[in-house]
Structure 1
Amino acid sequence: MRVLAAMSGGVDSAVAAARAVDAGHEVVGVHLALSRAGGTLRAGSRGCCTVEDALDARRAADRLGIPFYVWDFSERFRDDVVADFISEYQAGRTPNPCMRCNEKIKFAALLERALELGFDAVCTGHYATLVDGEHGRELHRASDAAKDQSYVLGVLTAEQLAHTYFPLGSTPSKALVRAEAEERGLTVAQKPDSHDICFIPDGDTRGWLAERVGAEKGEILDRNGEVIGTHEGAHAFTVGQRRGLQLGVPASDGKPRFVLEVRPVSNTVVVGPKEALATAEISGERFTWAGRAPETDAFDCHVQIRAHADPVPAHAVIGDGAVTVTPQEPFEGVAPGQTAVLYDGTRVLGQFTIDRTVSAVPAPV
């Protein structure tokens, strides 16, 4: 099998490429340049796809004895990931750029080019498992629950899964991957994992957004619509946030308040008690299935709303062009723009972007 190994410059993708070579595949390494700022440097565990990462990927490929290339996907990344991130915040939603990158870049743009060049599959260092079932290929959780990345892969379609290769999915722990990298003489064996948003390496999301969408003062309201404070820009707030509210009016019960809603049209932020974050229902019109679609329009499942959140038992209904999910116990702090991934046991059924939420605690009249 001809395999294109996406090599980020980290230990996971390097070991994944090495295992593809060991399996007897014809492997070519490729690093994706996602920024045209040539001087971009890595800051510890922040950021990825930097100059250092490209050099680390090249050294790993040289060690494995495979061809290596750098492909410029910066324009596509800017349009499909960064621009989407900005527009979602402008609309008062909370986006997940890692989901968009997997959907639009690694398993769309990259896979499309790989297939055009005659490759059979794209190999990555994601921790997830592929199972060839009776009805086609299925995406399942990794054996290492702590490193499982099936959530951020929930956007993959049946066609994409058919040309995907995850050599690390059955590895019991990240420590074993690092030990293997040491044994193979890979210099990235102890390289820190990347965290935060890769295109905001300093971690200052609020400042980064302010430079691009502007910051305009607005009002902070309670659930009754009373003004209890002001803010410097609604884009800086996300549902569930507690810190940085700077409220001028204390709560009657003395308890802290949390962001419940961001209204970009009126540039207002609504806050309330923690219990008001409980969400009884979520739904979304932008959904895809990871392989075979559910056999019925109503089914029980587990739903995960964040990369490291616990899955919640729920009931899902497909109808009127949307997927609607009702959890057995309310979700906490769900924001429009987040991704809900549906599971049947360890298998990923599919995902949808949350467009609408229904609070389990109605606002006072």
Structure 2
Amino acid sequence: MSGGVDSAVAAARIAEAGHDVTGVHLALSANPQSYRTGARGCCTIEDSRDARRAADVIGIPFYIWDMAERFHRDVVEDFVGEYAAGRTPNPCLRCNEKIKFEAVLDRALALGFDAVATGHHARLEDGVLRRSVDAAKDQSYVLGVLTREQLAHAIFPLGGSTKAEVRAEAARRGLAVADKPDSHDICFIADGDTRGFLAERLGAAEGPIVDALSGEVVGSHQGAYGFTVGQRKGCAWTARRPTAGRATCCRSSRSPTPCGSARDRRWRSPRSSACARCGTAPWPSRASRWPARCSSAPTARSTPAAPT
């Protein structure tokens, strides 16, 4: 129970369905004050208090589990390491993979529990992970790394409801978090300055920004980790290329950092890694559908065959 409306309603639903439910809040920092607060957080002292009050209303036991050391190693250090390697990580995905459905699930099973239920907006149908009915709030993309074994011990009670329906139900149940804003951004970066957070840990690494086609130097940077693939806002070189269409950055761990227009740097062969199969259907050998962004509609893409 994060202290938000989704996990509170999820706990209420499974308790009402007759399950023997225990609420658990995760302490993910040795110094909770260093994490985000209010609407921007999900792991603070105030969030733990909100979770406890929700558990009291539902009428279930409530505990706080200390996962701070594991979270720092598997999520925070991974986040920094991925940026250093020229990749843009998703810490929420890593948290689900390494904390909620590995560390927490392992402890829960060892204590005799059957499953871990969360407030994620996603559905499970015959062991297959599917999108929520609320496309705007779908979170299946941050659960896509879970294995079939992990999904066999997972429950997502909210996948068949919209966010508006969840909030309305929370109000009917008398849960004080009914109108609590959703958490945003990265919980372990207190001020929201990702570039500054990385600079403190990776140090300045000044280098040129060059046009990917002409080789012209169009700017400079203090660290390639300060940009993400496809970034346009906050990029000094966009004013230098007024006729090039949308400027985009192709970030890497090397220097110089290449950039170009959207049409210059169009991806023809995207690669994926750490794919997980949650169903029994054969791996697609030719074409499948997947979104280029987590909030966009799936489009047809060529998918090479993979070993079973």
1:304 aligns with 2:304: no
Residue in structure 2 matching 1:117, options 97, 111, 121: 111
Separation in 2 of the partners of 1:296 and 1:284?
Answer: 14
- Determine which of 29, 47, 51 is the counterpart of 1:53: 47
Measured after TM superposition, the shift of residue 226 of structure 1 is: 2.5
SS at match of 1:108: helix
Which among 67, 80, 105 is matched to residue 86 of structure 1? Answer: 80
CA displacement at 1:40 relative to structure 2: 3.9
Out of 259, 263, 270, which is 1:271 matched to?
Answer: 259
After superposition, the Cα gap between the structure-2 partners of 1:187 and 1:274, relative to the gap in structure 1 and judged at 3 Å, is same
Q: Helix, strand or coil: the match of 2:225?
A: helix
* Separation of aligned partners in 2, 1:40 and 1:232: 25
Q: Check 1:190–1:296 CA distance in 2 against 1; reply closer, same or farther (3 A cut).
A: closer
Displacement of 1:263: 3.2
Deviations 1:68-125 (A, max 9, x none): 1000111111111111110111111111111111111111111111111111110100
Give the stretch that moved more between structures: 16-25 or 199-208.
199-208
Aligned amino acid, residue 4 of structure 2:
G
Indicate yes or no: 2:185 matched with 1:191: no
The match for 2:270 is 282
**Aligned residue identity for 1:210:** A
Q: Equivalent residue for 2:60?
A: 66
Could you report, residue by residue, the CA deviation over 1:44-86 in whole angstroms, capped at 9, with x for unpaired residues?
A: 4212111110110011111111111000111111111111110
1:222 to 181, 186, 211: 211
* C-alpha displacement of 1:306: 2.9
CA contact (8 A) 1:142 1:149 kept: yes
Task: Summarize the alignment of residues 236-255 of structure 1 with structure 2, pairs less than 5 Å apart.
Answer: 236-247=226-237, 250-251=240-241, 254-255=243-244
Higher helix share: 2
Q: Distance in 1 between matches of 2:103 and 2:147?
A: 14
Listed one character per residue, the Cα deviations across residues 248-299 of structure 1 (whole Å, up to 9, x for unaligned) are: 9933x6446634322323x32111112124212212343221232x425614
In structure 2, distance between residues paired with 1:54 and 1:40: 15
Name the CA distance, whole Å, in 2 between partners of 1:283 and 1:41: 33
User: Is the Cα–Cα contact under 8 Å of residues 35 and 43 in structure 2 kept in the other structure?
Assistant: no
In terms of mean alpha carbon deviation, does 24-33 or 267-276 score higher? 267-276
Amino acid at match of 1:195: H
Residues 1:297 and 1:127: Cα distance change in structure 2 (over 3 Å): closer
2:221 to 222, 231, 244: 231
**Quick check: 1:242–1:256 contact (8 Å CA) kept in 2?**
no
State the 1:212 CA deviation. Answer: 1.1
- Conserved in 1, the CA contact under 8 Å of 2:232 and 2:238? no
Distance 2:43 2:293 in 1: 23
Aligned positions of 1:157-236 closer than 5 A: 157-171=147-161, 173-223=162-212, 224-236=214-226
253-262 vs 272-281, which moves further: 253-262
> What is the rounded CA distance, in whole Å, between the counterparts of 1:47 and 1:306 in structure 2?
23
Distance 2:133 2:204 in 1: 44
Q: Which runs of 5+ in 1 are unaligned?
A: 1-6, 323-365
Matches within 5 A, 1:92-107: 92-107=86-101
Contact kept in structure 1, 2:28 and 2:66, CA below 8 Å: yes
Q: Give the match for residue 35 of structure 1.
A: 29
Residue of structure 1 equivalent to 2:102: 108
Please give the alpha-carbon distance, in whole angstroms, between the structure 1 residues aligned to 2:11 and 2:97.
21
TM-score (norm 1): 0.79
- Give 5+ residue unaligned stretches, structure 2: none
Going from structure 1 to structure 2, the CA distance change for 1:204 and 1:249 (only over 3 Å counts) comes to closer
For the pair 1:262 / 2:279, whether they are aligned, the reply is no
TM-score (normalised: structure 2): 0.93
